[in-house]
Homo-oligomer: A and B are copies of this chain.
């Protein structure tokens, strides 16, 4: 075959507004509440800026809350279906730290913060990344009901499966704020839902 037609590399980048938003934020988010408030704020701005769906994620040091990376969903901006907020945040943390294993021995325990329970792809991405804690604002049917996004087939024992692999799952007190972001997104008449159902508008 003519291999010159093949793509040989791919990548994604953060929207510029994320850095502007973070410039005004302290270097660390010590409490779960602060971590989730920032994540919800980035998720809301991502859809308002039209850079992606209403999803954001942080990688922070578990104990101190030092922010290692911030990610948002950049599927539309990058043209890649796998760069959900979690994959973006994890990949940026790995790029910054220069290692695929965020749980490498002798390094600070890291945590992934997200504004809803991950979809099935990001569930696995978190599992393989080496993070030791997953902090989520909430879970339940509201995301799918309000936005039309498909979370995919998760197992009933999904949290126990994390625990069996040394990953703690914690729910913060930011569920209503997360739902408000999804409701705002779902109310748009131009919301793009990118999943197996194809390009649908909510």
* A-to-B contact residues, CB < 8 Å: 1-3, 5-14, 19, 22-23, 25-27, 67, 69-70, 75-76, 78-82, 87-88, 90-96, 98-105, 119-125, 127-130, 150, 152-155, 157-158, 161, 165-167, 194-199
Contact = CB atoms under 8 A, between A and B. Distances in A.
Q: Ordered nearest first, which 3 A-B pairs have the shortest CB separation?
A: A11-B11, A121-B124, A9-B13
Contact of A194 (B95, B120, B122, B128): B128
B121 A7 contact: no
A95 B81 contact: no
Contacts of A165: 150, 196-197
Given A7-B95, A79-B100, A82-B91, 6 more contacts: A3-B22, A81-B90, A82-B90, A121-B127, A124-B152, A167-B196
Contacts of A90: 81-82
A140 B147 CA distance: 36
B6 A22 contact: yes
B94 A80 contact: yes
A36 B70 CA distance: 38
Nearest to A77: B100
B6 A70 contact: yes
A79 B95 contact: yes
A96 B9 contact: no
Contacts of A121: 121-125, 127-128
Contacts of A10: 11-13, 88, 91-92, 94-95
Contact of A196 (B120, B127, B157): B127
Contacts of A194: 100-101, 128
A121 B88 CA distance: 14
